[in-house]
Amino acid sequence: MTASATRDRICGNVSAPEPTRKPFPMPSDQPETTTDYDFSEQIGHLLRKAYQRHVAIFQRNACDPQLTGVQFVTLCAVRDRGPSSLTQLVQATAVDQATIRGIIERLKARDLITLASDPEDRRKVVVNLTDAGRTLIEDMVPHARRITELTLDGLNPAERLAILFLLRKMNEQEPPE
């Protein structure tokens, strides 16, 4: 820290001793210095780490080692909504349109779903569960509960409710334009 601070003086951007031009009005009394910005305390960094930890827990605790969290979510969405088009699954799962195609391909390759085209709208690809897919969901759900439990391990019941509430509230907020 001190080493980098000294280096800042030596070869840093010493050329501009504050041209007094602020690109953004700072929301509070945040100083314009860069030294107090700690990336490891930012919401984005914490979210990334939390999600990565969850993914690791999922992989270790899924009853099927090939099944990913997103694949499981997609299977659940098909079960809950019945035969669905890709666009419907995109909305239900919050998986990107370009990404869902790969998911569907892999689930199809494992015969967990079937694909058909809607005779009433020939653009649509209708996704359906196979018996194997339905069985896998049934087998997986207890493991999924455990995965949730393990991900929230370390938080007491009140804190668990709180973080679910706060994440839902964040997600309801639309990303600006």
Positions in 25-64 near a copy of itself (CB under 8 A)? 25-27, 30, 32, 34, 37, 39, 41-58, 60, 63
Exactly one of 18, 20, 119, 123 binds a copy of itself (CB under 8 A); that residue is: 20
Exactly one of 52, 111, 132, 162 binds DNA (CB under 7 A); that residue is: 52
Exactly one of 82, 102, 115, 117 binds a copy of itself (CB under 8 A); that residue is: 82
Exactly one of 18, 23, 98, 123 binds a copy of itself (CB under 8 A); that residue is: 23
- DSSP assignment string, the chain: -HHHHHHHHHHSSTT-S-----SS--SSS--S-STT--GGGSHHHHHHHHHHHHHHHHHHH-SSTT--HHHHHHHHHHHHH-SEEHHHHHHHHT--HHHHHHHHHHHHHTTSEEEEE-TT-TT-EEEEE-HHHHHHHHHHHHHHHHHHHHHTTTS-HHHHHHHHHHHHHHHHSPPP-
Binding residues for DNA, rule: CB under 7 A, are 48, 52, 55-56, 59, 66, 68-71, 85-88, 95-99, 101-103, 106, 120-125
